[in-house]
Chain A
Amino acid sequence: MNPEKSVVVTDVSKSFGKTEALRSISLSTYKGELFGLIGPDGAGKSTLFRILTTLLLPGSGKATVAGYDVVTNYRNIRRIVGYMPGRFSLYHDLTVEENLNFFASIFKSIVAENYDLIRDIYIQLEPFRKRPAGKLSGGMKQKLALCCALIHRPEVLFLDEPTTGVDAVSRREFWEMLRRLKKEGITILVSTPYMDEAMLCDRVALMQKGGLLKVHTPSGIIGQYNLPLWAVKGDDIYRMIGLLRHFESTQSAYLFGDSIHFTAKDHTVTDGQILSHLQKTISSKIEIHKIEASIEDCFMSLMETEQQTIIEG
């Protein structure tokens, strides 16, 4: 990976009235990196993207994109970034073809010039090229928006929640497209509320309520989960979770699909202790085994630590 920095954010804050959307955020991305901003609504992801694409001024702090300052050099940034905002923002009444040609010409380019970049994506849109963009399905709109953001071969691509509200299959396809784009050397910043998508990035920033919980590689974040974690399965999941929440060795117990993710307070806790606590009340079969943390486990643990800090501080 190219060690040169592509986006640098230094102590950026932004408030809207009383709401602190960003609280002194600092992070940077490398050239050619696929960087994820992972966090729920209200984390500040869209606000940060708008500042970096020069659509919004920072309240305080400094940010540069490809070396250009977002405040003093915004014109240069606008020529070299691609942006896909949270909602479909193309022209509903223009056809697929017309939208693409329009965006190409705005950036003083023509579709043919950078067609190789979007070919794999556009091939799926081709049968619908004469259809008005407003009449495309959600997944197709997304693909078109991506093509329009790429048509001028940007150096840095900002994708704001491109997979929100989209089904699991389309989500996977979209990320496969991003990995192919990465090979072209484009720096890609993507925001998403889906924790599992963090695994597909080179590095991620876990964000919540305008602040950063952690910035690292996905495996780095998982590696820092320092308490023992088990998956507990059985017939009566609801009863088990209730019992675990009243167990003195429990740090946390959360539902994860068909099992409970149980985090113990420290490393002295054993499988046997957990089982005997549950078996006092439950007679049916209980399965329990140690597991590696997922990004979601890490995010929740970091959230709790932050809550604790706020309560104590």
Chain B
Amino acid sequence: MHGQNVIEVENLVKKFGTFVANDHLTFSVSKGEIFGFLGANGAGKTTAIKILCGLLAPTSGRATVAGFDVYRRPDKIKQNIGYMSQKFSLYEDLTVKENFRFYGGIYGLTKKRIHERINELLGRLDLLHVLEESTHALPLGWKQKLAFSLAIIHNPSIVFLDEPTGGVDPITRRQFWDMIYETALGGITVFVTTHYMDEAEYCQRVSIMVDGRIEALDTPAILKKTYTAQTMDEVFLKLARKAKVSIS
């Protein structure tokens, strides 16, 4: 399962004027991996993610996502990835079913296929009964789970999750990670950012960005050993405190 690389990045640089947001990033992510992408605010994570999602061109360096080059085929990248952000997911004035039909339609799924996916995804979550409900009244935990389902409706090779569990209760947070696990086991690579350091432990490998560079990249166990820490929280603090620019 971990044979192929779904993301390959080599010496990626992104500058905005003289400001270097991404400073020679090099890493790869394999198929079915749960990869944690951490860093302090201002460290350059969002810029890197935008490049990997085909939304921003790099200044220099190489990157391929789902086999497609970020310079030449950003359109193909967008078709083959999923994305879920904490800030926006479902159209609140549409019903759950309408949201699925809309997202499915955007990704070019047939009506039949959308119907199949609705049954698969909502069935697994035991949420088939809310199909005709307007999404705005649903509890946050359900919305998060639905948003995740929408992000993988087209079975992309990789899904980007930007702080997906912000604001939910601790039980729902863990149920969400159960979903992430099942998804990864099914072969979809998960690229996740989070501010909950215990969630960093659930990732197979974690990278930590500081001042535009990747300061550390390894399994949580090895990172804790390398930085003499009991938790990923401690690892993060040790690394992020070194930042000169990030916290301004």
Contact = CB atoms under 8 A, between A and B. Distances in A.
Real binding pair: yes
Interface of A: 18-19, 39-42, 127-128, 137-140, 164-173, 193, 195, 208, 238, 254-258, 296, 299-300, 303-304
A256 B198 contact: yes
Contacts of B168: 40-41, 193
A40 B140 contact: yes
Contact of A128 (B169, B221, B243, B248): B248
B186 interface: no
Interface stretch (B66-74, B92-100, B233-241): B233-241
B195 interface: yes
Nearest to A304: B171
B140 A167 contact: no
B195 A303 contact: no
A39 B170 CA distance: 9
B129 to A, nearest CB: 17
Given A40-B140, A255-B202, A195 B170 contact: yes
B41 A139 contact: yes
A257 B248 contact: no
Contacts of B197: 168, 257
24 contacts: A40-B167, A40-B170, A41-B140, A42-B140, A128-B248, A137-B248, A139-B41, A140-B248, A164-B166, A165-B166, A167-B40, A167-B240, A168-B237, A168-B240, A169-B241, A170-B40, A170-B41, A193-B168, A254-B171, A255-B174, A257-B197, A257-B232, A258-B220, A258-B221
- Interface size class for chain B? 35 or more
A254 to B, nearest CB: 6
A39 B168 CA distance: 8
B218 interface: no
B169 A137 contact: no
B1 interface: no
A170 B86 CA distance: 20
B183 to A, nearest CB: 14
B201 A258 contact: yes
B39 A167 contact: yes
Given A139-B42, A167-B240, A255-B177, 10 more contacts: A40-B140, A40-B169, A140-B248, A164-B166, A167-B41, A168-B195, A168-B237, A254-B170, A256-B198, A303-B169
B17 interface: no
Given A138-B42, A168-B237, A208 B169 contact: yes
Contact of A303 (B40, B137, B171): B171
B247 interface: yes
A166 B41 contact: yes
A127 B181 CA distance: 45
Which 3 pairs of residues, A with B, have the shortest CB-CB distance? A40-B169, A41-B167, A257-B198
B231 interface: yes
A18 to B, nearest CB: 8
B8 interface: no
Contacts of B174: 254-255
A164 to B, nearest CB: 7
Contacts of B155: none
A294 to B, nearest CB: 10
A143 B230 CA distance: 30
Contacts of A167: 39-41, 195, 240
A30 B247 CA distance: 34
B139 interface: yes
Nearest to A17: B137
Contacts of A42: 139-140
B133 to A, nearest CB: 13
